[in-house]
Amino acid sequence: MIRLSGTKHLLGHRLWIKDFPKPTKQIEVSYLIVGGGISGLSAARQFHKKGISDFLMVELENHLGGNSSNGENKYSKYPLGAHYLPLPNFQDKELLRFLEEEKIILSYDSKGFPVFDELQLTFAPDERLFYKNNWQEGVVPKEGNSVADDLEFDKFFKQMDIFRTGKGKDQKYLFDIPLYLSSSDEKTRALDKITMKKWFQENHFTSEPLYNYIDYCCKDDFGLGIEYVSAWAGIHYFAGRKQDCTPEKHDSVLTWAEGNSRLANHLKKYTKDKTLKNHLVYEVKIENNKVIAKAFDDVNKSSVEIIADKVIMASPQFVNQYLMENRKEFTKDFHYTPWLLATLTVNDLFDNFSFPLSWDNVIYDAKGLGYVYDQHQTVNQVQDKKVITYYYSFSSADLKKTRKELYKKDKEYWKQFVLNDLKVAHPDIEEYTEDIEVFLLGHGMISPVPGFIFGEAKQQAKQNIQNKIYFAHSDLSGISIFEEAFHQGINVVNEIVDGTTLDS
């Protein structure tokens, strides 16, 4: 069986023509949050922490979580977007506090390091790579490399270590998370002007396995490959995470069958009885010192007017440009890479290879990023059927065109596309597949093309409007990861309540 689903792009497209009925209902509230992804949910948590409860969240989907949502079948939960959180940086106290609140951090040891719940850290074996016809441990190509390749890998990782620990004259890390904490060092920021591929060439790297590995990493975090992504962003992937949160587990990650939907679920409690789901906000404007937002109720096919003192737009900029005036000019510089996810239920076929089925399974010569084994974190390791989620990002120079083509293809096309790609490592996968759910994300994630992270467009999009309409979404950071969305939510509430503004 094959099913094709995705985010509600058809409803979203009605923003172009705005053929919505006139509002028949009014709601008054102090604060309105538009969008129930991690940024919006994190804002709700921060309101709660400030003792503010008079807020409402409006979300167009029938569930909260945005890109950190999940699906579930008979055998397992599975991610419909984000699937892991790397261990946080030690100085990210807000994030540590959240993980502590949710019992992901259980305590702190005698040296002050957090003790993570073992069941929420990836179990071994956590990563494998199909390279030169063999599964090998880890995702870095090793067995079968030439000596010259190995030397280049060494040189590359040493350079990344220097970037990871390096600080600018302002005593800030050159690359940090959240991104706005990074140094304003000009030489480092100039890396945002070139592509990662150019940086690779300028630094005299030539190794093909190294090129492929960096390409994979860029796609993993940004959707865009080495050819298109900013070098600053590409290096940030390796250097932003300080690996200093625990002495032993340098690069562990936190993960769950349902992916980061687990984290969204923790945050949802702050929005209990304060949420309108299935509501698409289609207009936001300031009138008589109030913000008036109009939303279309997709279930009852009616509209509602929400009158608020202040509004947080936790929705992406490609949407915001249709809700408010004068935003199209800078929004054109925001580029979003589409993604395809496919969850397959398969009979047990993976266990007889050179390295066992792992949480993350990357295929060197494939088009996609490989697949995650969704039941990996379950304590019961004997599974009747296995559930895996395949990831593919549509990295290209013309993302708009790619997006259009995405929706023209039918489910049979995508099924074959996914199976063919997996066949590189699993030639007989088609025979063993019982069910496929293909999930399309037309605007998957913000992609940091050269010039975007430190460019004008992002700066303009972040400015609040008359201290009434505020903005918080991971696209305003320039890279789409949990930590950025989480801090966007916290910072926007601090700005509203305490007037705190942050440097970029």
Ligand X SMILES: Cc1cc2nc3c(=O)[nH]c(=O)nc-3n(C[C@H](O)[C@H](O)[C@H](O)COP(=O)(O)OP(=O)(O)OC[C@H]3O[C@@H](n4cnc5c(N)ncnc54)[C@H](O)[C@@H]3O)c2cc1C
Where on the chain is the footprint of ligand X (CB under 6 A)? 34-40, 58-61, 66-68, 81-85, 260, 280-281, 314-316, 319, 339, 341, 441, 444-445, 473-474, 480-482, 485
Residue 427: strand, helix, or coil: coil
Closest CB 36 distance from ligand X, rounded Å = 5
How does DSSP classify residue 167? B
Burial classification of residue 288, based on how many CB atoms lie within 10 Å of its CB (0-12 exposed, 13-18 middle, 19 or more buried)? exposed
Peptide bond preceding 125 in cis form (omega within 30 of 0)? yes
> Which CB sits closer to ligand X, 32 or 214?
32
Closest CB 281 distance from ligand X, rounded Å = 4
> Which CB sits closer to ligand X, 13 or 167?
13
Contact 422, 363 (CB under 8 A): yes
Closest CB 439 distance from ligand X, rounded Å = 9
Instruction: For residue 290, list its beta bridge partners.
Output: 287
| Helix ranges (DSSP H) in 166-225 | 186-189, 196-202, 208-222
> Which CB sits closer to ligand X, 9 or 189?
9
> Which CB sits closer to ligand X, 210 or 235?
235
* Structure tokens belonging to residue 445: 């994630």
Closest CB 229 distance from ligand X, rounded Å = 15
> Which CB sits closer to ligand X, 40 or 125?
40
Closest CB 314 distance from ligand X, rounded Å = 6
Contact 344, 426 (CB under 8 A): no
Closest CB 445 distance from ligand X, rounded Å = 4
Distances (CA, A) of 61 to 212, 280, 294: 36, 8, 16
Nearest-angstrom CA–CA distance, 234 and 140: 16
Closest CB 431 distance from ligand X, rounded Å = 27
Half-sphere exposure of 347 (CA within 13 A, CB side): 7
Closest CB 136 distance from ligand X, rounded Å = 22
Nearest-angstrom CA–CA distance, 358 and 346: 15
Residue 421: strand, helix, or coil: helix
> Which CB sits closer to ligand X, 209 or 234?
234
Residue 113's region, left for phi above 0, alpha for psi from -120 to 50, else beta, is beta
> Which CB sits closer to ligand X, 153 or 237?
237
| 321 phi, psi to nearest 5 deg | -65, -25
> Which CB sits closer to ligand X, 182 or 480?
480
> Which CB sits closer to ligand X, 153 or 336?
336
Closest CB 447 distance from ligand X, rounded Å = 10
Burial classification of residue 8, based on how many CB atoms lie within 10 Å of its CB (0-12 exposed, 13-18 middle, 19 or more buried)? middle
Closest residue (Cβ) to ligand X? Answer: 37
Burial classification of residue 110, based on how many CB atoms lie within 10 Å of its CB (0-12 exposed, 13-18 middle, 19 or more buried)? exposed
Closest CB 438 distance from ligand X, rounded Å = 13
Closest CB 497 distance from ligand X, rounded Å = 20
Burial classification of residue 291, based on how many CB atoms lie within 10 Å of its CB (0-12 exposed, 13-18 middle, 19 or more buried)? buried
> Which CB sits closer to ligand X, 34 or 366?
34
Burial classification of residue 16, based on how many CB atoms lie within 10 Å of its CB (0-12 exposed, 13-18 middle, 19 or more buried)? exposed
**Minimal CA–CA distance to 387: which of 71, 6, 5?**
71
Residue 457's region, left for phi above 0, alpha for psi from -120 to 50, else beta, is alpha
Percentage helix, strand, coil, to 5, in the chain? Answer: 35, 25, 40
* Structure tokens belonging to residue 187: 């030489």
> Which CB sits closer to ligand X, 96 or 210?
96
Closest CB 35 distance from ligand X, rounded Å = 3
> Which CB sits closer to ligand X, 265 or 474?
474
